[in-house]
Every structure is written in structure tokens, then in C-alpha cells.
Structure 1
Amino acid sequence: MTSPTAPRRALLVANPGSRRGSAALQPVEAAFTAAGVTLLPVESSPRETLTARLVAQAGEADLILAVGGDGTVNSVAAAAYRTGLPVGLIPAGTANDLARTLGLPLDPAAAAQVILAGRRTPIDLGEVNGTFFFNVASLGLSVKLADKLSSTSKKRWGRLGYLWALLRALAEARPFSAAITGEDGHTIVVKTLQIAVGNGRHYGGGMVVEQGAEINDGQLDLYSLEFKAVWKLLTIAGSFPTGRHGLSPEVRTLRGRQFKIATRRPRPINMDGELLGATPAVVTVHPAALRMIVP
């Protein structure tokens, strides 16, 4: 943990389309104005050019401020990594899993006060084929879920929208084959419903990757759901919020700093709730890669 340093100028990246994005901006702008902090808005769309915009303006600020959900803060990760600027997060999405991991208050006004206090801590970043993630990178069931979960349903229904989308995804889920190679070079061939590799602790609206997972432990936590029947997932559903699903004999768990995942045909990868890559994938961890402002 580094000494608190109050920000003076912040690059603002906001997602007005997030569930609480527009409403969250009002108390944040008021708090920052009262504290004498200048906000410099940066256009967040299209995502492909956001990193370049942030890097170009990095010399004008001492903080990147993300207002939105996990997808919004994911979009600033590359720029923060390249520039060394700390990141402040105002949770305004549906799941807010990074905020949960960091212990940030979910109320925007309270989160703004945390950022103004300026207490920074280093955290790890995960990477898949050159794209960063904070929480989890996964393929299989989670991709089906992302397909079913529209931005409209997230904004309108919140957590209920997640549940409905999950039920629809489960109805269509089918096992697939994959080869997982650890950093020791050993390869395991599995038949699985989902492979998830966690850098942080929380994902999917409050579920836990693994009961001992932390976002600053320099490790990745992988699990593979190797159930022959989809309905059997219901028998361990209650263990996901505590990260104890790995105790099931049909859930494979691995820990390491790098994994390679190959599938028979390219499969899309969900990173922090966004479809941002595909197999074959090399998943690595960058310990203490950037600084986040935390309580």
C-alpha cells in the first residue's frame, strides 16, 4: 500500500450506457469539483481507440477515473499499464465484481470520497493473447451467458437479468473438448462445460473464483466444469458464492502463472463480461502491474 496522494486532474472514462452510469456521474462530478479536482472527459467509443486517447493525454493528469461496470474499467487497463497512471473506479454497472474484490463502496458518492483520499495499492493483471483482464477470462457457458445477456436487459433488470440469461444459457450448454497446458508444460485433455481462469476474486455478480484467490497474489486460478450432465451444476450452485465449487470431484482446479488453452475450433473468450478474444489462448498474470485506489 502506498501513501495517500489526492488527485488533482483525472482522465474521465464513463459508460453512460451502464446500468447506473449517467446517475453516478452527478455526485462524482460534484464531489470532485468541491475538492478542486479537474475532470478531463475522454470519449470511450470506439473501444479500439480509447487506449491511444488515454496514452496521448496521460501527461495532463495523475489519475484515470472509470465510471461504469467491469467492462468499463477493463477498457482502461491497457492505458493504465502503459502509462503507470493509477486507476480510480466508481462502480456503476450491474455486477461490479472488481469493486467487490477491492472492497469499494457501491454508492457512487462514497466511492468518490475513497478516490479523493487517494490510497493506492498494486494489483495483478491477467492477460489473454495481449488483452488484459481484472476478474476472469472464460470460455464455454459464460460465453453463452454473454450472448443471452443484452445491454438492455442488464440496464433494465440488473441481477434478475443475469439470472434469466443464465437459465437460458444452461438450456443450450453442451460439453466441449479442450487441452489445458500448465507452466510446467504438462497438458491435460478435458471434456468441459466451462473453463475459467481468474486473476481476481469475484466474477459473475459476486461469485468467487476460488476460496483462496486474491487479486494481488501473483497467481491465476483455473477451474474446469467437467460435468457430463448440465443439470448436475445445480447440485453445487450454492458453492460458487464462496469459491468452494472446486471441492466437487467433477470440477478440476489448477493454480499457476500461465496456462495455454487449445480447442478443436476457435472458441470466443469472455473477459470481464466482454467477448474480447478466442482460442487458442495463452493466459498469463502480471504481478503488481498497476495501481488501484482503494479504501
Structure 2
Amino acid sequence: MTGSTTPRRALLVANPGSRRGSAALRPVESVFAERGIDLIPIDTAERETLTDRLCDQTHGADLIVAVGGDGTANSVAAATFRTGLPLGLIPAGTANDLARTLGLPLDPAEAARVIAAGQLKAIDLGEVNGAFFFNVASLGLSVKLADKLSSTSKKRWGRLGYLWALLRALAEARPFHAAITGEDGHTILVKTLQIAVGNGRHYGGGMVVEQGADINDGQLDLYSLEFKAVWKLLAIAASFPTGHHGLSPEVRTLRGRRFEIATRRAKPINMDGELLGATPAIFTVHPAAIRMIVP
């Protein structure tokens, strides 16, 4: 579903702690002022109450604008789902995977002009136990990575910070047992380093969930890294940016609209780079649930 709208009043959610967040605001404010779009800043100090505060401010608003990375976009997912307001994204993070999936320009002023033009596209939204995600929700290695990757290292080192954190996470990676149940009710028992469930296409700074993954195909793409030795994961590292890792015999891939994942002990879940929730977990997709402003 596509369409267009001419925005006049935007609720602004900006992450000043993102790698380019503060610097990105100035050109955005300038472009919006030229186009006659009023910005209403929303305090982001407490993520737990952000959705309610956004929903309380929607009277007369045309859209929500998020300035930051994938975590910032994730923080407004519930509000866009509940209110039906379109979402405009100014990429200002380290990875910017949602922006990459949607083909958004990384220059803040250019991204602001895209929002001002108001071209709409409906995209899918993933959900895990009541929490939403755009890109990927995962457990295992990615949680170790998030634990090693501090906000300071992301802001200072960018993708080099990701690489260093990944090497440290791999050194500590241990396989775990899980039960994966698909929408047909069939359960698979696995021993894995990581299970990832993708709604979008890109994640982790440019890696691809699956070569055919699309953020508006109404499907989730799951992969499970079932390597007996961690070093074998390094041997196929070059296939992740293209989504061809699923061709390895030690990578299980599944596609569907619903998955249940259970583990012996509760394991935390990484959603768009944020640790939200834990297993047991139910993963579902909401087709065409969010209207995004795109080029």
C-alpha cells in the first residue's frame, strides 16, 4: 500500500545519545521550518512511558518523526501501531538498518526532505510477547554482542565498535538448547548459538536476514546457527551481508507468520538492538501495520 500526505505538525522523538543525533537535528529543523512543518518535541527520558506520552499528544499531529538509530525507531513502534500515524525516520545511529531496508538517505537534510514530501508505504511489524520490532528479534550470540557493545563505544567507534564487540562475544559464545514450534504446530529441538527471527531485511549494521527477506511480505524469516564449533561461524561470515548464510548445512532456516521458542532457562531477547523480554516467546507478524514515509 502506498500513498502520500502533506505533513504540517510532527511529534519529534530524538535520541541525543545516538552517534549523530544532536548534529542531525539542526538540518532537520531547518528543512521543516522551510516547509512550514511544526515540530513538537517529546521527552525521551523514560522509554517505559514514551508510548503513552506520544499517544496523548496525537491530537492534531500528522506524523511521528524519529531522529536516531534502530533503537530510537523501535521506541516509537508501539505508538505508531496504536495511533495509526505515519512514521518518518531521520537516520542518525550507527547501523541504521531500518533506513537501509527502506532506501532512506543517510544525510539528515535529505531524509527531512523525504519526510516533507510525504510519500507513504505500508510495512510489516514484528511482535514478541507484546513488544514490537522492525528488523530482527534474536537470542543467544546477539545478546552477548549487545552486552559487549556499550553506547559509548558505538558513539565513539561506530562499526569498528561493533566488530570489536563481536569478537569478544564470539570468544564467550556457548550453544544452548531450544524448541522451535512453527505455525503448523510442528516442534523442532535444536542446539544452537543463536536464533534470529527477522521481520525486515537488514540488521546488525548491514547483514541480511535471508536473501529473499522483505519488510512487506507478511512473513517472518528465522535462522538458527547450529555449529558445533564457533570457529566454523567465522568461515561463513562473508555470506551474512548477502543473506546466503542459510545455504550452510549448519544453518537452519524457516519462514512463517508465527513461531514459538522455548528454552530450558529464560533467555533474554534482543529486538532491534534493545534487550526487551525473554523466552518463552511467541513471534508474530502484523502485515502492513505501519505507514512509513519513504523516498
TM over 0.5: yes
Equivalent position of 2:208 in the other structure: 208
The percentage of counterpart residues that share the same residue type is 83
2:8 aligns with 8
Which residue of the partner structure matches residue 47 of structure 2?
A: 47
Map Cα deviations across residues 118-150 of structure 1 (whole Å, 9 max, x no partner). Answer: 000000000000000000000000000000000
The answer on 1:127 being equivalent to 2:147 is no
Using the alignment, how far apart are the partners of 1:184 and 1:4 within structure 2? Answer: 38
Q: Distance in 2 between matches of 1:202 and 1:44?
A: 25
Residues 138-153 of structure 1 aligned to structure 2 (within 5 Å): 138-153=138-153
TM-score, normalized by length of structure 2? 0.99
In the other structure, the counterpart of 2:163 is: 163
In the alignment of these two chains, the number of paired residues is 295
SS in 2 for 1:59: coil
Cα RMSD (Å) of the superposition? Answer: 0.5
Separation in structure 2 between the aligned mates of residue 3 and residue 100 of structure 1, nearest angstrom: 21
- Give per-residue Cα distances to partners, 1:179-222, cap 9 Å, x unaligned: 00000000000000000000000000000000000000000000
Instruction: Give unpaired runs (5+ residues) of structure 1.
Output: none
Distance between the aligned counterparts of 1:86 and 1:5, measured in 2? 9
Name the structure 2 match of 1:186: 186
Q: Structure 2: how far apart are the matches of 1:37 and 1:105?
A: 20
Taking the aligned partners of 1:170 and 1:88, their CA distance within structure 2 comes to 35
1:100-115 superposed matches below 5 A: 100-115=100-115
The 2-side partners of 1:149 and 1:3 are apart by 38
Rounded Cα–Cα distance in structure 2 between residues aligned with 1:232 and 1:153: 27
SS where residue 18 of structure 1 aligns? coil
TM-score by length of 1: 0.99
| SS in structure 2 of the partner of residue 58 of structure 1 | coil
| Deviation per residue, 1:16-67 (Å, 9 max, x gap) | 0000000000000000011110000001121000000000011131100000
1:5 deviation in Å?
Answer: 1.4
Instruction: Provide the rounded CA distance (Å) in 1 between the counterparts of 2:123 and 2:101.
Output: 11
CA distance in 1, matches of 2:27, 2:130: 35
Q: Indicate whether 1:233 and 2:233 are aligned.
A: yes
Residue identity opposite 1:137 in structure 2: A
> 2 CA distance for matches of 1:168 and 1:15?
27
Structure 2 residue 27 is the aligned partner of structure 1 residue 27: yes
Cα distance, 1:4 vs. partner? 2.1
| Residue of structure 2 equivalent to 1:261 | 261
Structure 2 CA distance, aligned partners of 1:183 and 1:47? 32
- Whether 1:57 aligns to 2:32 is no
